[in-house]
């Protein structure tokens, strides 16, 4: 089979797919791109057996055929060329690939039999389907995925929990030390449903979403094994995590009479500074709050390091002294966009709730929970 494609267009699509390909896999065939040519449409497929990405682009051809091409070698050669046409000639018998560029460039590499490539999942027994804007989905991933866990014994926490209903879409992530609940009332599903998507798959989806030029609609369909995302000429299939997600509502304190309201940027930069002086295994930040003053402090007794900062704030409630992991607070504040935030607390031994203040996006409901550390 033969086709002609622009080098920069090809590179963009190779990079979109390449992130899912692993060079350390028990299935060597998955170290390749799968090229599927059907007339003027070329589909490029990459997979790691858990997540499969397929992008389709226009090429000059009227032929059909398939071939598996080594991913690293192909991407390395394509990225060296400026914006120019590349001619691919594939031998359908031995799957050798010949690439011609300009009058003087000719490159040959060994492809593989596409029949050995893993079977691409197809939607069977659809459980539910909805459509949501790409910007909304990308934001939901960004504001939750950082809170997922890495414990192999609690796999359900290594992904983001999608909860669909006719009223809203809710995305939840937790590692048992922190939790994020991100809810959108401007996105809905016809029927209720829920599933858990692995962290790595969501990061790949976010990377591919970043390549689009407009806020296109994304179709999300799922069954009991996979979730399928499709937009423009991109399809992503992710194998779901099997298991029951924890009852996240049960761990969110409902009565939090101590409420600290503070400038988000000032709080964030102060935390970054004092965290440098904390013990690095658990960078504890101590918050002492009373009146209109927050005293932030951290120390590493073993190294005789210590830091203190005073910040102006608004506070409702009795004076309180509480400790949190500074790293967790920093991650959360990085994923809130309002000028001010509210930290609601009930007791030094109970979780604190971080909320945006005066969020301009009324359809966005975001709640972040962080467990305290003993002082």
Looking at residue 22, what is its pLDDT?
A: 83
Half-sphere exposure of 143 (CA within 13 A, CB side): 26
Residue 245 has pLDDT above 90, yes or no: yes
Crossing angle between the packed helical segments 326-334 and 264-275, to the nearest 10 degrees: 150
In the chain, % of residues over pLDDT 70: 100
CA 265 to chain CA centroid, Å, is 24
- The position carrying tokens 């039999």 is 113
pLDDT band at 9 (very low <50, low <70, confident <90, very high): very high
Q: Residue 182 above 90 pLDDT?
A: yes
Q: Which two tokens stand for residue 3?
A: 């086709």
Give the residue-averaged pLDDT of 53-61: 95
Output the CA torsion sign for 303, 304, 309, 310: positive
Residue 265: predicted pLDDT = 97
| Residues near 2 by beta carbon (within 8 Å), at least 6 away in sequence | 61, 63, 87, 88, 89, 90
Closest by CA position to 291, among listed 325, 315, 267, 270: 315
- The rounded distance, in Å, linking the Cα atoms of 232 and 36 is 18
Instruction: Tell the CATH topology of 252-370.
Output: DNA Polymerase III; Chain A, domain 2 (3.10.150)
From the options 3.50.50.60, 3.40.50.300, 3.90.1570.10, 3.10.150.10, give the CATH code of 2-116.
Answer: 3.10.150.10
H or E segment to which residue 132 belongs: strand 128-133
Residue 280 reports pLDDT greater than 90: no
How confident is the model at residue 210, as a pLDDT?
84
Question: Residue 103: its pLDDT value, please?
Answer: 84
Mean pLDDT throughout 281-298? 94
Quick one: average pLDDT of 101-105? 88
The residue-averaged pLDDT of 217-237 equals 94
- Average pLDDT over all residues of the chain: 94
Q: Is 90 exceeded by the pLDDT of residue 122?
A: no
> What pLDDT digit, counting tens, does each position of 194-218 carry?
999 999 999 999 989 987 878 999 9
Q: What is the tally of helices (H) and strands (E) in the chain?
A: 6, 25
Report residue 255's pLDDT band, with 50, 70 and 90 as the boundaries.
very high
Range(s) of the chain covered by CATH 3.10.150.10: 2-116, 128-249, 252-370
With vertex at residue 180, the alpha carbon angle to CA 176 and CA 186, rounded to the nearest 5 degrees, is 150
- Encode pLDDT of 290-349 as tens digits: 989 999 999 998 899 999 999 999 999 999 999 999 999 999 999 999 999 999 999 999
Whose tokens are 């000719």? That residue is 106
- Helix residue ranges per DSSP H, the chain: 7-18, 71-78, 134-142, 199-209, 264-275, 326-334
What are the C-alpha distances in Å from 195 to residues 8, 239, 247, 365? 37, 10, 13, 20
CATH class name, domain 128-249: alpha beta
Which residues have a Cβ under 8 Å from the Cβ of 35 and sit 6 or more positions away?
42, 43, 44, 45, 66, 67, 68, 69, 90, 114
Task: Tell me the mean pLDDT in the region 141-149.
Answer: 96
124 pLDDT tier (thresholds 50, 70, 90): confident
Distance CA 17, CA 339 (A): 37
Torsion angles phi and psi, residue 164, rounded to 5: -105, 140
pLDDT digits 0-9 by tens, 258-271: 999 999 999 999 99
């Amino acid at each position: 089979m033969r086709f002609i494609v622009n080098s920069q267009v090809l590179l963009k699509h190779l990079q979109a797919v390449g992130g899912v390909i692993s060079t350390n896999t028990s299935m060597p065939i998955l170290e390749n791109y799968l090229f599927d040519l059907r007339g003027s449409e070329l589909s490029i497929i990459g997979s790691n057996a858990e997540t499969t990405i397929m992008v389709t682009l226009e090429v000059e051809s009227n032929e059909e055929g398939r071939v598996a091409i080594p991913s690293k070698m192909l991407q390395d050669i394509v990225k060296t060329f400026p914006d120019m046409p590349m001619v691919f000639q594939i031998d359908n018998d031995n799957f050798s690939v010949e690439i011609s560029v300009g009058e003087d460039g000719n490159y040959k590499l060994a492809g593989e039999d596409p029949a050995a490539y893993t079977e691409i999942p197809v939607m069977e027994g659809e459980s539910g389907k909805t459509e949501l804007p790409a910007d909304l989905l990308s934001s939901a991933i960004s504001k939750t995925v950082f809170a997922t866990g890495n414990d192999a014994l609690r796999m359900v926490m290594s992904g983001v929990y999608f909860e669909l209903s006719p009223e809203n879409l809710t995305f939840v992530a937790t590692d048992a030390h922190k939790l994020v609940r991100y809810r959108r009332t401007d996105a809905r599903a016809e029927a209720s449903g829920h599933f858990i998507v692995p962290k790595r798959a969501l990061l790949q989806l976010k990377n591919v979403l970043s390549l689009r030029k407009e806020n296109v609609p994304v179709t999300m369909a799922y069954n009991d094994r996979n979730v399928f995302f499709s937009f423009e000429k991109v399809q992503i299939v992710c194998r779901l995590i099997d298991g029951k997600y924890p009852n996240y509502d049960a761990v969110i304190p409902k009565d939090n009479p101590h409420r600290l309201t503070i400038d988000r940027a000032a709080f964030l930069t102060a935390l970054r500074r004092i965290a440098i002086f904390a013990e690095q295994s658990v960078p504890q930040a101590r918050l002492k709050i009373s009146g209109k003053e927050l005293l932030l402090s951290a120390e590493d007794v073993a190294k005789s390091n210590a830091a203190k900062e005073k910040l102006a704030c608004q506070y409702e409630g009795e004076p309180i002294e509480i400790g949190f992991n500074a790293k967790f607070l920093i991650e959360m504040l990085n994923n809130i966009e309002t000028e001010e935030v509210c930290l609601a607390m009930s007791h030094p031994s109970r979780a604190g709730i971080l909320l945006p203040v005066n969020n301009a996006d009324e359809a966005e409901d975001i709640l972040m929970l962080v467990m305290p550390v003993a002082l």
